[in-house]
Amino acid sequence: MAVDEVRVERVGAATLVTIDRQHRRNAINGPTADALVAALDGFEADDASRVLVLTGAGGAFCAGADLTELESLTPRLLAGEGPLGFTRRVATKPTIAAIDGWAVAGGLELAIWCDLRVASPGSQFGCLERRFGVPLVDGGTWRLPRLVGLGRALDLILTGRTVAADEALAIGLLTEIADDPLARALELAELLAAHPQPTMLSDRASVYDGYGLSREEALALEGRYGVAVLADAENGAGRFSGGEGRSGR
């Protein structure tokens, strides 16, 4: 990468993206945000990479925007882009956040940008930007209510309180807690990569594209997406009929 504070590597079927600004608890400035966008572009262009795993180095996931360099992020916001990188986009393939330590402010917004979130028991979450008068502008006000519900989202957004991993799991902010979240995230990535891809990606797209539509519109969309992958469904049904996967195998 052009910016060594964002490392990108292939690990099996996954693209592992590591934010490495440990001197700032992986807080993001303008160049780092640009590097995250480049990392997502590279992932999208790599057909062999099936899952993106996002993590942070050195005992923190991400502390959000680097408030000492806020001016380096403002042009992205004024241009209609996510200040912290790719947060205004939706990846076309699954994404997993591997969280160890602080995932707060914009770092929380990066975590909930991902489809799944695995965190260590000692991880901490919160909209800590509340304490400094910094707004949520990386998708948090849209994604957080859809993830944990309106009431809990407003609790976190208005109070700016810190949430421990066990509470985050209980309210649906986390997918699971693991002693080694990166290892578990990479394990999940291999599981997702092993599934038949067209139907999994179609169902994922249906979830994102149908969310917020009326029931009739969402079901019609689901049907159209399903028709597009019927050949894969018929192939899978044939495998099952032939004895594969019986009794939950």
In order along its 249 residues, the chain shows pLDDT tens digits of: 345 799 999 999 999 999 999 999 999 999 999 999 999 999 999 999 999 999 999 999 999 999 999 999 999 999 999 999 999 999 999 999 999 999 999 999 999 999 999 999 999 999 999 999 999 999 999 999 999 999 999 999 999 999 999 999 999 999 999 999 999 999 999 999 999 999 999 999 999 999 999 999 999 999 999 999 988 766 665 566 656 666 566
Count the alpha carbons within 13 Å of 153 in the hemisphere toward its beta carbon.
15
- Measured torsion, CA atoms of residues 112, 88, 56, 208, in degrees rounded to the nearest 10: 40
One domain, residues 149 and 229:
no
CA 126 to chain centre: 16
Residue 94 maps to which CATH number?
A: 3.90.226.10
pTM beyond 0.85? yes
CA distances from 189 to 95, 112, 206 (A): 8, 17, 20
Residue with tokens 């001016």: 71
One domain, residues 205 and 131:
no
Q: How far apart are the C-alpha atoms of 17 and 115, rounded to whole Å?
A: 15
One domain, residues 116 and 156:
yes
Q: Is 100 inside a domain boundary?
A: yes
One domain, residues 234 and 142:
no
One domain, residues 136 and 229:
no
Domain that holds residue 212: 197-248
Q: Is 160 inside a domain boundary?
A: yes
Q: Is 67 inside a domain boundary?
A: yes
One domain, residues 59 and 182:
yes
CA 8 to chain centre: 16
Q: Is 1 inside a domain boundary?
A: no
- Please list the active-site residues: 129
